[in-house]
Amino acid sequence: MTVLDDIIEGVREDLAERRRRRPLEDVRAAALAAPAPLDAFEALGAGRAGSMAVIAEVKRSSPSKGALADIADPAALAASYERGGAAVISVLTEERRFGGSLADLDAVRAAVGLPVLRKDFTVDEYQIWEARAHGADVVLLIVAALTDEEIASFLALTHRLGMHAIVETHTEEEVRRAVAAGAPIIGVNVRNLKTLEIDRDVFGRLAHLIPSGTVVIAESGVRDADDVADYAAGGAHAVLVGEALVRHSDPATTIGAFGQAGRTSPEPGVPTHG
């Protein structure tokens, strides 16, 4: 069993318990009653206009590093990210390996005026409705965890709800599957899901397979501004950063530095909206 398999097994168990407590019909009603979602594609457009967009993550721990930070007030951290110029706030809601929760998502949503990503392992449409009910504007779809039919169905649902999805890839085959599904936002995660090791060169090998007009996100492996500059040179419009921010005493300043480090020439002919 891979690390991803193990995580998803726990996600399904926790999901079953939440479904028992709150039926899908109730979650759908709450989602449809929630304020309209914010446009993450537009927010990430800064990366296509010449400077790097930063998706700043509220992240307490990870399977690879264990405990990262004691985040007593996720809302305050998210507010500092917003002051620093983050384009999107990512909130981990997986509990067993990442120490997150839907309560964190609620707190962050109430504190910031930016699009918010519910960062979790989406395996069922319930989680997408649930994300919208809690105010999320974006969800994560991991290609390695889903069939082509599920990717298409989940993308259609997010768009029907006015949301977006970051479709995460790790290999050439997964990039091709994401492109075939018509994903407007594709992430390339340079962390190997089987070994949890980082290989930053993976981004350069995969990013060129993603068509113009797609928002391209570099995920994992950002230690400093040099890494951001390297990802920008390889075609990234945005970086998703967690550890480098939650462990820094001044995350707002760090976000500004990352944005400047990723400044590039605007990509020609890219539409401003998908």
Task: Decide: 15 and 127 in contact? Cβ < 8 Å.
Answer: yes
Kind and range of the H or E run holding 98: none
Q: Which of 51, 90, 94, 119 is catalytic?
A: 119
How many other C-beta atoms lie within 10 A of the C-beta of residue 68?
19
Q: Which of 130, 174, 219, 243 is catalytic?
A: 219
Please state, in angstroms and rounded to a whole number, the distance separating the CA atoms of residues 254 and 212.
29
220 classed as catalytic:
yes
Q: Which of 62, 174, 189, 243 is catalytic?
A: 189
59 classed as catalytic:
yes
How many other C-beta atoms lie within 10 A of the C-beta of residue 253?
14
Residues near 248 by beta carbon (within 8 Å), at least 6 away in sequence: 254
219 classed as catalytic:
yes
**Residue (of 204, 205, 206, 200) closest to 186 by Cα position:** 206
Residue 56 bridge partners (DSSP): 89, 241
| Strand 138-142, strand 88-92: pairing | unpaired
Q: Which of 82, 94, 130, 168 is catalytic?
A: 168
194 classed as catalytic:
no
Q: Which of 51, 57, 62, 80 is catalytic?
A: 57
57 classed as catalytic:
yes
Task: Decide: 7 and 94 in contact? Cβ < 8 Å.
Answer: yes
Please state, in angstroms and rounded to a whole number, the distance separating the CA atoms of residues 15 and 124.
9
Helix and strand numbers (H, E) in the chain are 12, 10
192 classed as catalytic:
no
Active site residues: 57, 59, 119, 168, 189, 219-220
